[in-house]
Amino acid sequence: MLQKKLLITLTTARGSRQYTLGQLARYLLALFLVMAVCSFFVSNLLLVQTSDELEDLEQGINSLSSQYEMTLGTQEIQKGQLDQLSHTLQELKVERDQLQEENLRIGELNDTLDASLYGLEDLLGLPPSEDMTSGRADELTVMTNQRLFFLSIMPNGEPIQGLRINDHFGMRMHPVRKKRVMHNGIDYKANIGTPVYATADGAVEYAGYNKSSGFGNLIILQHGLGFKTYYAHLSKLKVKSGSYVSKGQLIGLSGNTGTSTGPHLHYEVRHLYRAIDPEPFVAWNIGNFDSLFSNVKGVKWASLQKLYPLNQALQTAQQ
Query: What's the chain's length in residues?
Result: 319
Share of the chain above pLDDT 90, in %: 35
Cβ-based burial of 255 (10 A; exposed 0-12, middle 13-18, buried ≥19)? buried
More confident residue, 12 or 115: 12
Rounded to two decimals, the pTM is: 0.61
Residue 84 to residues 76, 79, 81, 88, 90: CA-CA distances in angstroms? 12, 8, 5, 6, 10
* Distance separating alpha carbons of residues 310 and 319, to the nearest angstrom: 14
pLDDT classification of 225: cutoffs 50, 70, 90: very high
Q: How many helices (H) and strands (E) does the chain have?
A: 5, 14
* Distance separating alpha carbons of residues 206 and 254, to the nearest angstrom: 16
Lowest mean per-residue pLDDT among 41-50, 89-98, 110-119? 110-119
Which 8-state DSSP code applies to residue 262? S
Please list, in sequence order, all residues whose beta carbon lies within 8 angstroms of the beta carbon of residue 181, skipping any fewer than 6 positions away.
Answer: 171, 172, 174
Residue 60 to residues 71, 141, 185, 186, 222: CA-CA distances in angstroms? 16, 83, 115, 114, 105
Please list, in sequence order, all residues whose beta carbon lies within 8 angstroms of the beta carbon of residue 155, skipping any fewer than 6 positions away.
Answer: 199, 200, 223, 227, 229, 269, 278, 281
More confident residue, 208 or 76: 208
pLDDT digits (tens, 9 = 90+) for 201-215: 999 999 999 988 899
pLDDT at 113 over 50: no
Which helix or strand (DSSP H or E) is residue 225 part of?
Answer: none
pLDDT classification of 185: cutoffs 50, 70, 90: very high
pLDDT at 104 over 60: no
- The crossing angle, in degrees rounded to 10, of helices 134-153 and 23-123 is 40
More confident residue, 37 or 302: 302
More confident residue, 126 or 35: 35
Residue pair 203/165 in contact (Cβ under 8 Å)? The answer is no
Share of the chain above pLDDT 70, in %: 75
Q: Give how far the C-alpha of residue 150 lies from the chain's centroid of Cα atoms, to the nearest Å.
A: 30
What confidence score (pLDDT) does residue 203 get? Answer: 98
The per-residue pLDDT of the chain, averaged, comes to 80
pLDDT at 82 over 60: yes
Residue 106 has, within 13 A of its CA and on its CB side, a CA count of: 6
CA end-to-end distance (rounded Å), the chain: 176
Beta partners for residue 253, in sequence order: 195, 236
What confidence score (pLDDT) does residue 314 get? Answer: 44
For residue 243, the SS3 value is: coil
The letter for the amino acid at 78 is Q
Residue 214 to residues 88, 89, 209, 224, 232: CA-CA distances in angstroms? 83, 83, 9, 27, 9
What confidence score (pLDDT) does residue 2 get? Answer: 46
pLDDT mean over 109-117: 52
pLDDT mean over 130-145: 75
More confident residue, 62 or 245: 245
What confidence score (pLDDT) does residue 115 get? Answer: 57
More confident residue, 63 or 19: 63
Q: How many other C-beta atoms can be found within 10 angstroms of the C-beta atom of residue 151?
A: 20
What confidence score (pLDDT) does residue 99 get? Answer: 67
* Distance separating alpha carbons of residues 186 and 159, to the nearest angstrom: 11
What confidence score (pLDDT) does residue 310 get? Answer: 53
What confidence score (pLDDT) does residue 38 get? Answer: 78
What confidence score (pLDDT) does residue 20 get? Answer: 65
